[in-house]
């Protein structure tokens, strides 16, 4: 999605505030459209940002959401990351 691409672009530039902004916008859209695969991806990417800024509690929270959602839909990539 466009939001994921923008989030990743900012993430790779270490502009974590903007990365989170776009990942959250994408997550909101994924929730509105009930796209569990997209939610898995956004949860994981948000976790990566929080991990990089050393907010490990928030990182773990989003990684756990990614894992649980992935497990629910049998997304083996998300389960393997978990």
Residues 33-81 pLDDT 10s: 999 999 999 999 999 999 999 999 999 999 999 999 988 888 666 666 6
CB 75 within 8 A of CB 40: yes
Residues 7-43 pLDDT 10s: 999 999 999 999 999 999 999 999 999 999 999 999 9
The total number of residues shown for the chain amounts to: 82
For residue 5, give the 3-state DSSP assignment. helix
Report the 10 Å Cβ neighbour count for 77: 13
CB 35 within 8 A of CB 3: no
Phi, psi of 14 (to 5 degrees): 60, 25
């Amino acid at each position: 999605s466009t939001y994921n691409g923008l989030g990743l672009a900012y993430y790779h530039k270490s502009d974590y505030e903007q990365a989170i902004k776009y990942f959250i916008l994408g997550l909101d859209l994924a929730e509105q459209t009930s796209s569990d695969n997209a939610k898995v991806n956004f949860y994981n990417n948000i976790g990566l940002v929080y991990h990089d800024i050393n907010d490990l509690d928030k990182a773990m929270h989003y990684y756990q959401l990614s894992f649980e959602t992935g497990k629910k839909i049998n997304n083996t990539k998300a389960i393997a990351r978990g």
